[in-house]
Structure 1
């Protein structure tokens, strides 16, 4: 375990204090949100952002690598997040209310941009998975918490009419966030069911189409950022996809890969096109194959 990690005793004590505060003084969460030191920009000194994503558990997506319940251990997840957020080059975090409020109570969100996850209703593996209802933050609560923006997942299945309400809800959210001058981080996919399971189409044509649809949502795109997967090896195919937009774009990290060095190479190539303003990565950095969160985060920060 890297020396930068909190000791088990310190973490257990902190978790007891979190639960005690939640039980006796829930108003303290809001007080801490108001007292949090905010960043002047969501971008770092390099003009790029490195945001740690931790909104997976609320959708029932708990797998990391070979462990199907890796993200279910809240103490372990929070420890990894604390380590990651303390590293140079990390600019922010993305999560649902429960996780972000735990981090507020741990005091680790100062000088970090914070993005609240807005729609987690499409539970992983459910028959209704494509119905990504808004079950998390809304624009009003993000303003109240003094956060920097909201993230929404937009999966479009042309054969499933449940995609239409998600499109409408995302458009409304983009407009509401823009009214408050908050970033709307949209993660779009063209999706389909294969053997009953939702699968995202990562072809150039599908990725380009998804970006085009997402870019036009809402009454203004002034505050819209895109969050997109790395297509192919991150080179020519990715450059072609990114040529479809002028919106600031962040690359998502995806699943934990056995060959982490190859993943870094793909990210490095995909970071070159002008629209790309950084990375939003969760499991690949929090649960790297070698277990060294510090090395994984520092390597990603070095790419920026």
Structure 2
């Protein structure tokens, strides 16, 4: 939305979520928490795929204690700023939906932002960034039952496999249960797999082609059925080999925002043309673009997703 200053002859953007709406959101949460369930019950849903593609905006990083964007360690700390950016992003043409934890999805539901959108519930946020137990990535947000309860459309888990950390066993088990439960509920679930290791006291994901292919092999075999399993993969070198390693429908991971946006868009565009790639799931790269133009960044990515012929 925009408004024109007739005296100055300029056009300035109005926020998609006003400060008044945000204040009312706080009041509703305090005095009428039952309206969250009512919002989900009344929400208009849509088919998962309309043109064979999906473009999802992600915002589940804060629940894992990951608030930083580029050089700002607390960039995502202001909740009004985050919700306003997300609402603007999700309102843009070509954006199919949003991925988040219950706190964020509940806010967006109360604000009416989720109508006719694909809503993805993020499940395991227990491996807090920088913690000694980071590899023990348990389900601490949505589970499959709550995703079904709220009539959401998709589930998502993070699967970091660290062969040098015994906590990986519990993470594998949690992911396998999520896949099995999702299949039993006929609910699509996307797994975001990485081969990871400890380096200088922090977890680093191996983004080599071979490591990504190995992570796909591990993730694909989890659970009692792969019928509803999708993958969420980073864009790495030799994506042709990566996509040749799976028949599972795949969404590309935007990754940590670094480098020139034009280079990032170019890598996405090339990968989106590969067989099996169905779209993008991107968070901080688009919600916190270097120039602050959320709409412009989102529109560019949407054109890449929906301007490419479906596989």
TM-score normalized with structure 2 length? 0.93
Q: Distance in 2 between matches of 1:209 and 1:21?
A: 47
Q: Work out whether residues 119 and 153 of structure 2, in 8 Å CA contact, stay in contact via their aligned partners in 1.
A: yes
Shift of residue 15, structure 1, vs aligned partner? 1.3
2:35 pairs, out of 28, 38, 46, with 28
Cα 1:178/1:211, change in 2 over 3 Å = same
Q: Distance in 2 between matches of 1:14 and 1:129?
A: 36
Task: Tell me, in whole angstroms, the C-alpha distance in 1 between the residues paired with 2:41 and 2:202.
Answer: 42
1:16 corresponds to 2:17: no
Please report how far the alpha carbon of residue 238 of structure 1 lies from its aligned counterpart in structure 2 after TM superposition.
0.8
Within 5 A, what are the aligned runs for 1:219-234? 219-232=224-237
- The 1:126–1:287 alpha-carbon spacing in structure 2 relative to 1, beyond 3 Å, is same
Q: Is the 8 A contact 1:192 1:200 kept in 2?
A: yes
Equivalent residues in 2 for 1:94-173, closer than 5 Å: 94-173=99-178
Corresponding residue of 2:250: 249
Alignment-derived partner of residue 299 in structure 2: 298
Shift of 1:4: 8.2
Long gaps (5+) in structure 1:
none
Distance 1:75 1:205 in 2: 41
Match of 1:39 among 18, 24, 46: 46
Equivalents in 2 of 1:269, 1:212: separation in Å? Answer: 23
Distance 1:116 1:92 in 2: 11
| Per-residue deviation, residues 24-53 of structure 1 (Å, max 9, x unmatched) | 11010001001000012x2243x2100000
For the Cα contact (< 8 Å) 1:258–1:289, is it kept in 2?
A: no
Q: 2:186 matched to 1:181?
A: yes
Are 1:59 and 2:64 matched, yes or no?
yes
Separation in 2, partners of 1:298, 1:174: 32
Q: Give me the whole-angstrom Cα distance separating, in 1, the residues matched to 2:12 and 2:93.
A: 13
Selected match of 2:204 from 177, 199, 206? 199
Matched residues, number: 297
| Cα pair 1:6 1:79 within 8 Å, conserved | no
Contact preservation (8 Å) 1:157, 1:192: yes
For 1:280, the equivalent position in structure 2 comes to: 281
Q: Which runs of 5+ in 2 are unaligned?
A: 3-10, 306-311
Q: Measure how far apart 1:69 and its partner are.
A: 0.7
Structure 1 moving runs of 4+ over 6 Å? 1-4
In the alignment, structure 1 residue 74 sits paired with structure 2 residue 79: yes
Report the equivalent of 2:264: 263
Q: 1:221/1:271 Cα in 2 relative to 1: closer, same or farther (>3 Å)?
A: same
Distance 1:82 1:6, change over 3 A: farther
1:242 & 1:248 partners in 2: Cα distance? 10
Q: TM-score with structure 1 length normalisation? A: 0.95
Matches of 1:37 and 1:70 in 2, distance apart? 32
Larger radius of gyration: 2
